[in-house]
């Protein structure tokens, strides 16, 4: 099999690994017995031993990434979707207070009584329009997700306390948003406080090219009190306005694809993952590959614990049914059948293991001759 090392091959053809390493050396290939071998090398080796190497039929890992991209870019049919919003800012400037206020003040009648769970994301409605909020635990998680290619945020709300002004993590947040190319809406918070000085914040942010329209720029600023709820609805209106301009769309009529927001192992339910559907519609029972894990969607619920049969683009969902715990920022794709999903998942897990092994086994002359 492609990716096997000399030790594994030795076992199959009943030879000492050192003998295989030596043979490869004679053939001009310098490896130690723990290095995984590519297809050409294995064929060469097999030929030398007078054995025919047959390639096992496997799902190619790169195909899955291609598959994700195709699902992502399938634009035959498009519907508008809700904006995905991340709230960022310096510690203690009011991110949690704002998220909590939004969560508690925008519960619709039908949902009352539903216990809100911390699944890392939630949706709310304003004038019939939906907004998805990501409850990022911190900048580190956001960075990790971005590093893994998961730019899932459409709009960044930058919270700056009016009594404290621009601070190091404010600048960090601006850098993140700019790198991810998401528009920034500035929420100047704590305007209820006696020491609040919103104009000072506006002056400071001008150094970062964030200039309000009144001052000749094009950044939306809203002055709020997350604690009192002052102007929070105006902030939501501004998010919806920004979102309208962006004309956010997705195709719900295809296999679901998207990203992992967070995942954990639950004692009773096994691996539990919060996913953001970015394309397609997810259904209970769908065969799925999530990062290096796979399975079938056994249960699917929203942040209120309400069971869903189907989830469209921009919907955060919590699912069970995976064989293992994926990582934040991992991508997921729904497959036609469980067999292919399993093969793809296993292939990805193996690939990840091999990457790990490669990292730990770089060839040096020393360990090469040791193994000879
Ligand atoms: P985070 O670190 O950005 O999540 O900040 P928190 O939401 O935890 O807020 C830090 C502190 O500021 C808490 O004591 C909040 O009660 C307080 N706070 C947040 N928003 C406001 C506000 O609008 N007005 C006032 N007076 N206090 C606020
Ligand atoms: Mg907080």
36 pLDDT higher than 60: yes
User: How far does the centroid of ligand 2 lie from the alpha carbon of residue 34, in Å?
Assistant: 46
**pLDDT number for residue 200:** 97
**pLDDT number for residue 105:** 79
Average pLDDT over residues 307-329: 94
| Ligand 1 pocket mutation pick from 93, 97, 173 by most atoms within 8 angstroms of CB | 97
| Ligand 1 pocket mutation pick from 201, 227, 235 by most atoms within 8 angstroms of CB | 227
- Residues making up the binding site for GTP: 89-96, 135-139, 189-192
The atom of ligand 1 lying closest to the CA of 93 is 3
**pLDDT number for residue 219:** 97
109 pLDDT higher than 50: no
User: How far does the centroid of ligand 1 lie from the alpha carbon of residue 34, in Å?
Assistant: 54
**pLDDT number for residue 128:** 92
List, chain by chain if needed, residues with CB within 6 Å of any ligand 1 atom: 89, 91-97, 189-190, 192-193, 225-227
User: 320 has which bridge partners?
Assistant: 272, 299
For 107, 242, 303, the CA distances from 114, given in Å and listed in that order, are 9, 30, 9
Band of pLDDT at residue 372, cut at 50, 70 and 90: very low
- Which of these, 270, 265, 264, lies nearest to 297 by C-alpha position? 270
Q: How far apart are CA 245 and CA 34, in angstroms?
A: 55
Q: What is the pLDDT of residues 138-196, one digit of tens each?
A: 556 666 666 665 678 999 999 999 999 999 999 998 998 898 889 999 999 999 999 99
The atom of ligand 1 lying closest to the CA of 91 is 2
User: How far does the centroid of ligand 2 lie from the alpha carbon of residue 254, in Å?
Assistant: 37
Average pLDDT of the chain, as a whole number = 84
Chain centre distance of CA 75 = 21
Average pLDDT over residues 254-279: 92
The atom of ligand 1 lying closest to the CA of 89 is 3
28 pLDDT higher than 70: yes
**pLDDT number for residue 57:** 40
**Greater pLDDT, 145 or 17:** 17
**Greater pLDDT, 303 or 243:** 243
User: How far does the centroid of ligand 1 lie from the alpha carbon of residue 200, in Å?
Assistant: 19
User: How far does the centroid of ligand 1 lie from the alpha carbon of residue 109, in Å?
Assistant: 27
- Residues making up the binding site: 89-96, 135-139, 189-192
**pLDDT number for residue 144:** 67
Q: How far apart are CA 83 and CA 240, in angstroms?
A: 8
Nearest CA, atom 2, ligand 1: 92
Residue 84 φ/ψ, nearest 5 degrees: -105, 120
Average pLDDT over residues 254-266: 90
**pLDDT number for residue 148:** 61
58 pLDDT higher than 50: no
pTM confidence score: 0.77
Nearest CA, atom 24, ligand 1: 190
The atom of ligand 1 lying closest to the CA of 100 is 7
- Which has the minimum average pLDDT: 9-13, 135-139, 282-286? 135-139
In the block, residue with structure tokens 């929070």: 232
Average pLDDT over residues 126-130: 93
User: Where would I find the H helices in 161-292?
Assistant: 168-179, 198-205, 232-246
Nearest CA, atom 9, ligand 1: 94
238 pLDDT higher than 80: yes
Q: How far apart are CA 128 and CA 108, in angstroms?
A: 11
Q: Which residues contact 240 (CB under 8 A, 6 or more apart)?
A: 83, 126, 127, 129, 131
254 pLDDT higher than 90: no
Query: Which ligand is in closest contact with the Cα of 158?
Result: 1
> What are the tokens at 116?
């809100």
């Amino acid at each position: 099999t492609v990716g096997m090392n000399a030790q594994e091959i030795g076992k199959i053809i009943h030879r000492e690994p050192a003998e295989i390493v030596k043979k490869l050396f004679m053939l001009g290939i310098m490896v130690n017995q723990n290095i995984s071998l590519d297809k050409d090398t294995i064929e060469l080796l097999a030929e030398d031993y007078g054995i025919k190497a047959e390639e096992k039929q496997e799902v190619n890992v790169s195909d899955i990434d291609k598959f994700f991209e195709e699902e992502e870019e399938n634009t035959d049919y498009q519907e508008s979707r809700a904006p995905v919003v991340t709230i960022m800012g310096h510690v203690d400037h009011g991110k949690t207070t704002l998220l909590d206020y939004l969560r508690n003040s925008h519960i619709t009648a039908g949902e009352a009584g539903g216990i809100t769970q911390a699944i890392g994301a939630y949706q709310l409605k304003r004038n019939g329009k939906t907004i998805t909020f990501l409850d990022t635990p911190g900048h580190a998680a956001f960075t990790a997700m971005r590093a893994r290619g998961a730019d899932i945020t459409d709009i960044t709300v930058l919270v700056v306390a009016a009594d404290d002004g621009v601070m190091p993590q404010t600048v960090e947040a601006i850098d993140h948003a700019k790198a991810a190319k998401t528009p920034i809406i500035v929420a100047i918070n704590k305007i209820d406080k006696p020491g609040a000085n919103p104009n000072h914040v506006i002056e400071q942010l001008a150094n970062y090219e964030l200039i309000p329209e009144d001052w000749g720029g094009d950044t939306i600023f809203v002055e709020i009190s997350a604690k009192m709820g002052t102007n929070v609805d105006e902030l939501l209106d501004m998010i919806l306005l920004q979102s309208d301009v962006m004309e956010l769309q997705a195709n719900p009529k295809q296999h679901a694809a998207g990203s992992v927001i967070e995942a954990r192992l639950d004692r009773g339910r096994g691996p539990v993952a919060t996913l953001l559907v970015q394309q397609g519609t997810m259904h209970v029972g769908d065969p799925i590959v999530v990062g290096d894990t796979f399975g079938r969607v056994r249960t699917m619920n929203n942040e209120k614990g309400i069971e869903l049969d189907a989830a469209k683009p921009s919907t955060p969902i919590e699912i069970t049914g995976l064989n293992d715990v994926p990582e934040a920022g991992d991508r997921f794709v729904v497959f036609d059948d469980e067999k292919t999903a399993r093969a793809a998942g296993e292939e990805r897990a193996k690939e990840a293991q091999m990457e790990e092994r490669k990292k730990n086994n770089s060839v040096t002359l020393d360990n090469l001759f040791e193994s000879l």
